[in-house]
Amino acid sequence: MSGARMSSTLASPSSAASPTGSTPSRDRRWWWALAVVVLGSFTVLLWMGLEIDESKPPIPARVVATDGTVLVDGDDVMDGQRVWQSIGGQQIGSVWGHGAYVAPDWTADWLHREATFVLDEYARDMGVASYDAASPEQQGALQARLRQTFRTNTYDPAAGTITLDPVRARAFEANARHYADVFGRGHEQYAIPAGTVKDPEAMRQMTTFFWWSSWAASTNAPGDDATYTRNWPHEPLVGNTPTPTNVLWSIISIIVLLAGIAGMVWYQNFGPHDDEVTDAPPTADPLLGYEPTPSQRATLKYFFVVGALFVFQIAAGILSAHYGVEGAALYGIPIDRILPYAVVRTWHTQLGILWIATAWLATGLYVAPAVGGREPRFQRLGVNVLFGALVLVVGGSMIGQWLSITGRMGYGTTRSWWLGTTGMEYLDLARLWQIGLLVGLFLWFGLMARGMWPALGRAADGPLTPTAEAPLAAGGRRTLVLMLLMSCLAIASFFGAAFGMGHDTHLSITEYWRWWVVHLWVEGFFEVFATVVIAFLFSRLGLLRPAVAATATLSATTIFLLGGIIGTGHHLYFTGANDPVMAWSATFSALEVVPLALIGFEAFRNLRILRVSEWVAGYKWAIYFFLSVSFWNALGAGVFGFLINPPISLFYVQGLNLTPLHGHTALFGVYGMLGIGLMLFCVRSLMPGREWNDLPIKLGFWGLNGGLLAMALLSLLPLGLAQAWASITEGLWYARSAEFLATPALTVLRWMRTPGDVLFGLGALAIGVFMVGLLTGHSYRAGGGRTVPGQAVAAGTTPHEEA
Ligand code: HEM
Ligand SMILES: [Fe+2]
C-alpha cells in the first residue's frame, strides 16, 4: 500500500536492509508529513463546513401562494424532518439520495409528481387534455414555462417567506394526499406497512419536509443557475442536468488519480527498497506456552458476542433484502406488522458496525498486556465493565429503534431522539446510546493505553527475544505502538462528531457531521487501524522487520489521510454545498484510490509471511482473512468506490444499487474480514489446547468471500447499472420507481441476490458453528493430542501442503 511496503514486497528477500532496517531520519520526515497532512486537511474540511453553512438552502418560516393560500406557517419543515427521523428517516426511502433503496427517493419522487401535475395543468390551459397528449412543440413550450416557474428563487430572506405560483400550491395538496395515503394505508412495493404515520398533523409536517427537500433541489441558489443541490436529482423536465463544474472536476479527478498512480509506481521502482519480511524469524511462536492474564481471558466472551451479532446481522440483512422482492411478507407470512422493513434495516446496518467494533475492541484489549508485559491493576474489572456497557448499548438501542419506528414513542418527539432513533443512517442509535458508545470507546482506549504503556518507555529498538510475560513486547519499535494507540484514540474521538447533529439541526449540517463520523472512520482511521494492527501483530511475532514495517505503516497512513480527510466531501456534493466544495472533494477523494489501486501487493507480502516458518501455519486462517482484506480493499473500496465517486457519476447514481454494491463489498469485505481475521488470531492464542478442526473456518472463508462476490456480480452490479441507465435516460425518480423495478428483467435481477446471500449466510453460519464448537469441543480435532497456541500443524506436514 505504501510505496515502501510495496517496494519491499517486490524486492527480493535478500535485498539490502540492515538487520533492524533502522530508518530514523526517514521516519522523522514521515512524521512531519503526517502532521502537515492532518492539520492542512482538517483546515480544509472545516472551511468546507463553513461554506456549506453559507450555501445551504434556507428553511422558510412561511410559504404562501400568490393567491393568498398559506401552505406553511411556522416550524413545519423542521417538525417534519423530526417526524421523518422518528419513523426511521433514512431507513425508509431516501432524501437527497441518502438512505434506503426500496421506497422512492422522496426528493426526486416529489419533484417528478409536482412537475407532471403542473405540466398537465399548463397543458389544459393550452386546451390540450394532458402534457402527454401535447405535440412535441407544445411540450417544449410547456417545459420552458415549467422551468421558469420552478427554478426562479422567490425566497425573501428578510421575511423568511417563499412565494409560489397557485398551481404549485395545488400540486402541493395533491402530493400531500398521495403521501398521506402511502404512509397511512401502507404501500406494499415500498415495504411501508399500514399505519406508519397515524397522526394527520405529523403527516402534514413530514409532507412539508419532503416538499422542502424538493424545493431546494429545483430552485436556483441565489445568483446562480444551479439549484441548492447542484441540480441533483437528474430531472430533465425542470432542467436538472449536470453543472459545468460537475463535468469539469469529474474529468480533473480522473486525471489526478492517474497521476497519483503513476507517482506511486515511480516511487515503487526508484524509492528505497527495504524488505519488510524478515529472513530470520523466531524458531517458535513467541506466544508458545504464554499464559493469558485474567483480563485477556475476560476478552474471550467478546468474541462470542461478535459471532452472535454477526449471525443476527445477517438474519436482519436477508430479511431486509427479502422486503425488496416481497414488500410485506416472508414467503407469505405477514411479518411487516411486527418487524417493519425500516426496523430490520436499521438493525442490519447498526449491527454491522457494532460487531466489527466489538472484534477490534477485543483485539486491542487482548493484545495490550502481552505487549506491555504486565497486567495492570483492575484491568479485568475494566474489561468486564466495558463488556456490560456494550451489551447495554446494543440491546437498548435496538429496542429503542423498534419502539420509535413502530410509532410507540410519538412522532418527532424528544423521547424518540434520546431513546428511539435519530433516523440518520449508520448513526441511527439514539442520543443516549451514542453517549454510552462514546464513553465505552474512551474506556476501551484507556484500558488499552495503560496495558501498552510500559512498551512505550522501552528503548526504540529492542532485541528480538520475547520474554515470558511479554511475548509481544520485544523487538518492537515505539512507532508502531504509538500509531496503534493513536488510531484507536482517533476512532474513539471521531465518534464525538456525531454530537454535531442535534434534534433541530438543518439537514445539510446534519449530513456534514454524520459523514465526519462515517467517512472519517471507514476511509480514514479504520484504514489506518487496519494497516497498523496487521503490521503490528506480524512484527511482534517476529515476522516483519519492525523498523521497516514502522516506516511503511507511517507512510501508508500519511498517504491514506492525504485523500481521506478532504475526501469526506464526496458525500456532500449534493447536500447544499457549493462549487468549490465539490472541486476540492472530487480531487482529494480520487487520491484515496491511489493506495488502494496498488494494495494487492500487500496480499503477496502476507502470503510470503505464511511461508517464513513452519509454526506460522497455525495462523493460516487469520492470515487468509487478512489477504481478503487486501482483495476487497482493491475491488470493493477502490474499484466500486471510484465507480460512484466522480461527481458526474454520483449525480446519476446516488441512491441507486451501485452504492450498496460498494457499501457491502467495502464495509464487509475490508472491515468485516479484518474483524474475523483478528478474532481468529486472538482466539487461536487465547485458547491454548488441542489442534483445531478448521473445516468450518475453511467453509466460512470461501462461503463469505464467494457469497459476497456473487451478491456483487450477479445482482447488485447489474441491478445498479440497469438503474444507472434508467436514471441517465429518464431521471432518478424513474430508476427508483416501483414501475421500473417491477419490470420482469429487474425482478429477476433482484431475486438473483438469493444465491449469493445464501452462500454468504452459510459461510457466516460456519464461522458461528466453529465459535460454538470451541465451547462444546467439536472444533478441536479428535485425537489430535494437545498442541500449543499457534502450532496447529501436525508434525510432518508443511504449510505449503496445508494451503
Ligand atoms: C474500506 C473503505 C470504504 C468503506 C468501508 C466504505 C463504505 C461506504 C459505505 C457504507 C457507504 C454508504 C453506502 C450506503 O449508503 O448504502 C459508502 C458510500 C460511498 N463511498 Fe465508500 N467506503 C470505502 C471507501 C471508499 C473509497 C475509497 C471511495 C472512493 C474514493 C468511496 C466512495 C464512496 C462514495 C462516492 C459513496 C456514496 C456517497 C453518497 O451517496 O453520499 N468509498 N461507502
Ligand atoms: Fe466516503
Q: For 476-496, what is the HEC assignment?
A: CCHHHHHHHHHHHHHHHHHHH
Query: Domain containing 346 — which CATH number?
Result: 1.20.210.10
Task: Indicate the pLDDT class of residue 792, thresholds 50, 70 and 90.
Answer: very low
Tell me whether residue 479 is in a domain.
Answer: no
Pocket probe mutation, ligand 1, options 253, 426, 517, 523, max atoms within 8 Å of Cβ: 523
Rounded CA separation 667/637 (Å)? 8
Q: Angle, to 10 degrees, between the axis of helix 478-495 and the axis of helix 341-372?
A: 150
Q: Residues near 276 by Cβ (< 8 Å), separated by ≥ 6? A: 4, 5, 8, 9, 544, 545, 548, 549, 552, 605
What nine digits make up the cell of 11? 524486492
Task: For Cα atoms 4, 545, 356, give the angle at the middle one, nearest 5 degrees.
Answer: 80
Q: Which domain holds residue 68?
A: 62-218
Q: Residues near 186 by Cβ (< 8 Å), separated by ≥ 6? A: 192, 193, 194, 195, 196, 328, 336
Which ligand approaches the C-alpha of residue 665 most closely?
Answer: 1
Q: Residues near 28 by Cβ (< 8 Å), separated by ≥ 6? A: none
**DSSP single-letter state for residue 220:** B
Residue whose CA is at the smallest distance from ligand 1 atom 16: 660
Rounded CA separation 144/140 (Å)? 6
Rounded CA separation 633/596 (Å)? 6
Residue whose CA is at the smallest distance from ligand 1 atom 9: 663
Comparing CA positions, the residue from 532, 425, 419 lying closest to residue 96 is 425
Q: What is the phi/psi pair of residue 70, to 5°?
A: -100, 120
Same domain, 204 and 348: no
Tell me whether residue 785 is in a domain.
Answer: no
Helix (H, G, I), strand (E, B) or coil at 37: helix
* Most confident option among 150-159, 742-751, 768-777: 150-159
Residue 633 alpha carbon, nearest atom of ligand 1 = 1
Residue whose CA is at the smallest distance from ligand 1 atom 40: 654
Pocket probe mutation, ligand 1, options 98, 582, 656, 659, max atoms within 8 Å of Cβ: 659
Residue whose CA is at the smallest distance from ligand 1 atom 17: 663
Domain stops at, among 162, 192, 218: 218
Per-residue confidence (pLDDT) for residue 18, from 0 to 100: 39
Same domain, 396 and 296: yes
Q: Using an 8 Å Cβ cutoff, are 781 and 692 in contact?
A: yes
Strand partners, 70: 64
Same domain, 190 and 326: no
pTM: 0.92
Tell me whether residue 110 is in a domain.
Answer: yes
Same domain, 310 and 407: yes
Q: Residues near 704 by Cβ (< 8 Å), separated by ≥ 6? A: 672, 673, 676, 760, 763, 764, 767
Q: Using an 8 Å Cβ cutoff, are 610 and 616 in contact?
A: yes
Helix (H, G, I), strand (E, B) or coil at 457: helix
Task: Indicate the pLDDT class of residue 464, thresholds 50, 70 and 90.
Answer: very low
Q: How many CA atoms lie within 13 A of 322 on its CB side?
A: 21
Which ligand approaches the C-alpha of residue 653 most closely?
Answer: 1
pLDDT digits (tens, 9 = 90+) for 316-337: 888 887 777 776 666 667 777 7
Per-residue confidence (pLDDT) for residue 367, from 0 to 100: 87
Residue 575 alpha carbon, nearest atom of ligand 1 = 41
CB burial string 628-661: b at 16+ within 10 A, e below: bbbbbbbbbbbebbbbbbbbbbbbbbbbbbbbbb
Tell me the CA–centroid distance for residue 635 and ligand 1, in Å: 12
Tell me the CA–centroid distance for residue 195 and ligand 1, in Å: 33
Comparing 780 with 513, the larger pLDDT belongs to 513
Rounded CA separation 208/76 (Å)? 6
Task: Give the 3-state secondary structure percentages of the chain, helix then strand then coil, rounded to 5.
Answer: 70, 5, 30
Tell me whether residue 510 is in a domain.
Answer: no
Residue whose CA is at the smallest distance from ligand 1 atom 12: 663
Per-residue confidence (pLDDT) for residue 99, from 0 to 100: 96
Average pLDDT, the chain: 88
Question: Average pLDDT, stretch 352-370?
Answer: 89
Residue with cell string 428563487: 153
Same domain, 317 and 453: yes
Residue 645 alpha carbon, nearest atom of ligand 1 = 35
Tell me the CA–centroid distance for residue 529 and ligand 2, in Å: 17
Tell me whether residue 49 is in a domain.
Answer: no
Number of CB atoms found within 10 A of residue 62's CB = 16
Tell me the CA–centroid distance for residue 641 and ligand 1, in Å: 6
Same domain, 333 and 452: yes
Same domain, 459 and 322: yes
Question: Average pLDDT, stretch 415-423?
Answer: 97
pLDDT higher than 70, residue 799: no
Same domain, 298 and 407: yes
Q: What is the phi/psi pair of residue 17, to 5°?
A: -150, 140
Per-residue confidence (pLDDT) for residue 742, from 0 to 100: 87
Question: Average pLDDT, stretch 136-162?
Answer: 96
In this structure, of 94-98, 469-473, 680-684, the range with the lowest mean pLDDT score is: 469-473
pLDDT higher than 50, residue 696: yes
- CB under 8 Å, gap of 24 or more: what pairs does 244-252 form? 245/579, 245/582, 245/583, 245/647, 246/573, 246/582, 246/647, 246/648, 246/651, 247/648, 249/582, 249/583, 249/586, 249/587, 249/646, 249/647, 250/586, 250/646, 250/647, 250/648, 250/649, 252/583, 252/586, 252/587
Question: Could you tell me the CA-to-CA distances from 122 to 70, 185, 414 in Å, in that order?
Answer: 22, 31, 43
pLDDT higher than 80, residue 165: yes
Residue whose CA is at the smallest distance from ligand 1 atom 41: 571
Question: Average pLDDT, stretch 744-750?
Answer: 89
**DSSP single-letter state for residue 237:** G
Tell me whether residue 113 is in a domain.
Answer: yes
Q: Which amino acid, residue 566?
A: I
With left for phi above 0 and alpha for psi between -120 and 50, is residue 370 left, alpha or beta? alpha
DSSP notation for 133-164: TS-HHHHHHHHHHHHHHHHS--EETTTTEEEE
pLDDT higher than 50, residue 305: yes
Tell me the CA–centroid distance for residue 522 and ligand 2, in Å: 7
What nine digits make up the cell of 418? 434520546
With left for phi above 0 and alpha for psi between -120 and 50, is residue 570 left, alpha or beta? alpha
pLDDT higher than 70, residue 771: yes
Tell me whether residue 508 is in a domain.
Answer: no
Strand partners, 511: none
Tell me the CA–centroid distance for residue 636 and ligand 2, in Å: 13
Task: Indicate the pLDDT class of residue 495, thresholds 50, 70 and 90.
Answer: very high
Q: Residues near 194 by Cβ (< 8 Å), separated by ≥ 6? A: 184, 185, 186
Tell me the CA–centroid distance for residue 777 and ligand 1, in Å: 40
Which ligand approaches the C-alpha of residue 634 most closely?
Answer: 1
Same domain, 209 and 325: no
pLDDT higher than 80, residue 244: yes
The structural domain count of the chain equals 2
Tell me the CA–centroid distance for residue 716 and ligand 1, in Å: 15
Which ligand approaches the C-alpha of residue 515 most closely?
Answer: 2
Rounded CA separation 684/221 (Å)? 59
pLDDT higher than 70, residue 596: yes
Task: Indicate the pLDDT class of residue 10, thresholds 50, 70 and 90.
Answer: very low
Domain stops at, among 454, 470, 486: 470
Tell me the CA–centroid distance for residue 356 and ligand 1, in Å: 17
Same domain, 355 and 208: no
Pocket of ligand 1 (CB under 6 A): 97-98, 425, 522-523, 570-571, 589, 592-593, 596, 633, 637, 641-642, 644-645, 650, 654, 659-660, 662-663, 666-667, 670-671
Same domain, 202 and 323: no
Task: Indicate the pLDDT class of residue 477, thresholds 50, 70 and 90.
Answer: low
Percent of the chain whose predicted confidence (pLDDT) is above 90: 64
> How are beta strands 155-156 and 98-99 bridged, if at all?
unpaired
Tell me whether residue 81 is in a domain.
Answer: yes
Tell me the CA–centroid distance for residue 317 and ligand 2, in Å: 22
Per-residue confidence (pLDDT) for residue 444, from 0 to 100: 95
Q: What is the phi/psi pair of residue 288, to 5°?
A: -55, 125
Rounded CA separation 143/149 (Å)? 10
Same domain, 304 and 203: no
Which ligand approaches the C-alpha of residue 663 most closely?
Answer: 1
Residue whose CA is at the smallest distance from ligand 1 atom 32: 641
Comparing CA positions, the residue from 443, 280, 436, 450 lying closest to residue 361 is 443
Rg of the chain on CA atoms, in Å: 28
Question: Average pLDDT, stretch 138-160?
Answer: 96
Helix (H, G, I), strand (E, B) or coil at 279: coil
What nine digits make up the cell of 513? 457531521
Q: Using an 8 Å Cβ cutoff, are 62 and 71 in contact?
A: no
Residue whose CA is at the smallest distance from ligand 1 atom 8: 663
Question: Average pLDDT, stretch 151-156?
Answer: 96
Question: Average pLDDT, stretch 93-104?
Answer: 95
Q: Angle, to 10 degrees, between the axis of helix 24-55 and the axis of helix 546-564?
A: 20
* Most confident option among 20-34, 204-218, 542-556, 736-750: 204-218
What nine digits make up the cell of 764? 457466516
In this structure, of 167-181, 295-309, 518-532, 542-556, the range with the lowest mean pLDDT score is: 542-556
Residue whose CA is at the smallest distance from ligand 1 atom 24: 637
pLDDT higher than 80, residue 794: no
Domain stops at, among 218, 253, 277: 218
Per-residue confidence (pLDDT) for residue 168, from 0 to 100: 96
Task: Tell me which H or E stretch contains 64.
Answer: strand 62-65
Rounded CA separation 555/658 (Å)? 31
Q: Which amino acid, residue 162?
A: I
Rounded CA separation 526/671 (Å)? 8
Question: Average pLDDT, stretch 593-597?
Answer: 89
Tell me the CA–centroid distance for residue 518 and ligand 2, in Å: 8
